[in-house]
Structure 1
Amino acid sequence: MRYVQDIPNPQFKIGLYAWNGKYIVKIEAGPYEQTYKISELDVSSADEVLLLLDEPFLSRVAGRFRDMDLDWQQSADRHGVL
């Protein structure tokens, strides 16, 4: 996987990579990660991928991270760990 660039964001660590004909966007928050793969054929450049990371999209990403954390905590509670 080839590193392309970091994408500045105050809430998340976002990295852009290229691999196997795809752009890969990795978004991290604490122990959680979301990965999105975009075919290089679907966009004209890496800059176009950055346009997809708009406020409505990142707001949904934040909600998904909250859901991931809730799921993890509920599982830990059910099993008495963590």
Structure 2
Amino acid sequence: MRVVAELPHPKCKISIFSMNMKYIIKFEQGTLEQTFKLAEMDLIKGIDSVFEILDEEFINKVADRFDAMREDFIIAYKKHN
């Protein structure tokens, strides 16, 4: 797996990898991460298509999902502690 790009963003770390004919897009925020995989063959413009997908609307939804993930984990953790 090799790093193709890293995109700076104030809400999360965004890394794009290439492996086995797939682009792997990884979002990280603290101890949480979300990963999306896209077949390179499905993207007409290659890595440029990935950049187009990662618009501000999508990144904001990812950030909202991080908030929900964190809340769910805190609830689960408190039940067992």
Q: TM-score range by the shorter chain?
A: over 0.9
Structure 2 unaligned runs (5+)? none
Flag structure 1 segments of 5+ consecutive residues without an equivalent: none
Structure (1/2) with the larger helix percentage: 2
Tell whether 2:25 aligns with 1:40.
no
Percent identity at matched positions?
A: 41
Q: How does 1:1-40 map to 2 (within 5 A)?
A: 1-40=1-40
Q: CA deviation at 1:21?
A: 0.8
SS at 1:10 equivalent: coil
Q: How many residues align?
A: 80
Instruction: Work out the CA distance in 2 between the residues paired with 1:21 and 1:5.
Output: 16
Paired residue type of 1:73: I
Query: Which 4+ residue blocks in structure 1 deviate beyond 4 angstroms?
Result: none
Task: State the one-letter code of the partner of 2:78.
Answer: D
RMSD: 0.8
